[in-house]
């Protein structure tokens, strides 16, 4: 069977991050959404996305296909249901379609003629930008179990101060010395060839992806994900950096999401709480207005290739 990930109805709610990528390539937890599905399916997926992105992310269609809504994060239970789909069948969670069977050249906007299968289990869905950090803790837990299943961590250096060692996993090539890893509140994953420099304090849930670096004396509060090839210093709380982005100096980043190739200048900070403790509203590209997040804590949403100079101050709920 051929599996294709499509953006679904929430793509515009995920701008600015989906200006430059399909929904499937958003990182939440340790892996991108695409990497999660491919790991469960043991299959290389392709994508249906906006026309201007299709040359970089081409769709490969076969005679029989299963279309998967990339806003949904897979788990073993839903994947088994997806694998059993047959012609004119679709899986729903409430009003949202999770997946459906499609023959070559057929596109469906109306599922009234389909056999609708209601998925009763729990499933994570990323439908707004703030979901990326708000649901990151659950996603890290799920990815940690997926990645480390039937595997053993590399040996952990004796110079480390460890709490709940069983929930700490280190990949080959990672370098750690004289730092503190506290996995009491969630697992800690250190990717291949990543480095945690001396004096760093890290609380889980936390993921440091391949080739990323935590700089001297950093303070990291979970749930936080530092994507591949990122460099991070200072204080970070409940944030996600997709990859190839730098926040290398002192300053606070909290309840925030950074895309790829972003740079935060030295001593820059963001606010994640309003002075009156009110619900944070965030700019919505779809409605061209401010959307209620339902969150008291919400910081900075920075799209790909955005940068700021030294001593920049970001207001609560900045896009």
107: pLDDT strictly greater than 90: no
20: pLDDT strictly greater than 90: yes
Determine the average pLDDT of the residues in 86-115.
Answer: 88
157: pLDDT strictly greater than 80: yes
Tell me which residue of 252, 254, 261, 267 sits closest to 231, measured CA to CA. Answer: 261
Tell me which residue of 138, 139, 135, 98 sits closest to 116, measured CA to CA. Answer: 98
pLDDT of residue 2: 96
Determine the average pLDDT of the residues in 58-81.
Answer: 96
Helix, coil or strand: residue 234: coil
Cα(125)–Cα(47) distance, rounded to whole angstroms? 18
The percentage of residues in the chain with a pLDDT greater than 90, rounded to a whole number, is 96
- Mean pLDDT rounded to a whole number for the chain: 96
Tell me which residue of 67, 101, 71, 68 sits closest to 84, measured CA to CA. Answer: 101
Contacts of 135 (CB under 8 A, 6+ apart): 28, 124, 126
| Model pLDDT for residues 288-302, shown as the tens digit of each residue | 999 999 999 999 999
**What residue ranges define each of the domains in the chain, with the CATH number in brackets?**
2-124 (3.90.550), 132-314 (2.160.10.10)
The pTM (predicted TM-score) of the whole model is: 0.95
């Amino acid at each position: 069977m051929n599996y294709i990930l499509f953006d679904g109805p929430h793509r515009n709610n995920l701008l600015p991050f989906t200006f430059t990528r399909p929904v499937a390539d958003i990182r939440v937890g340790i892996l991108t959404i695409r990497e999660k599905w491919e790991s469960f399916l043991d299959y290389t997926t392709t994508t249906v996305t906006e026309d201007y992105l299709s040359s970089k992310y081409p769709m490969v269609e076969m005679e029989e296909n299963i279309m998967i809504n990339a806003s949904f994060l897979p788990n073993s239970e839903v994947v088994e249901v997806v694998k059993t789909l047959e012609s004119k069948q679709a899986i729903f969670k409430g009003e949202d379609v999770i997946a459906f069977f499609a023959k070559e050249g057929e596109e469906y906007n109306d599922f009234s003629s389909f056999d609708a299968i209601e998925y009763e289990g729990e499933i994570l869905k990323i439908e707004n930008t703030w979901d990326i950090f708000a649901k990151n803790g659950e996603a890290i837990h799920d990815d940690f179990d997926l990645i480390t299943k039937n595997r053993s961590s590399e040996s952990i250096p004796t110079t480390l101060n460890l709490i709940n060692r069983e929930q700490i996993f280190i990949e080959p090539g990672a370098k750690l010395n004289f730092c503190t890893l506290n996995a009491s509140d969630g697992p800690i994953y250190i990717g291949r060839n990543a480095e945690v420099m001396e004096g760093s304090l890290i609380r889980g849930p936390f993921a440091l992806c391949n080739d990323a670096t935590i700089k001297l004396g950093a303070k990291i509060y979970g749930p936080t994900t530092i994507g591949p090839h990122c460099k991070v210093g200072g204080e970070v709380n409940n944030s996600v950096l997709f990859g190839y982005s730098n926040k290398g100096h002192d300053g606070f980043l909290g309840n925030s999401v950074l895309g790829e190739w972003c740079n935060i200048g030295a001593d820059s900070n963001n606010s994640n709480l309003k002075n009156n403790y009110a619900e944070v509203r965030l700019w919505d590209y779809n409605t061209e207005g401010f959307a209620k997040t339902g969150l008291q804590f919400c910081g900075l949403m920075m799209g790909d290739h955005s940068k700021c100079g030294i001593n920049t101050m970001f207001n609560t709920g900045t896009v």
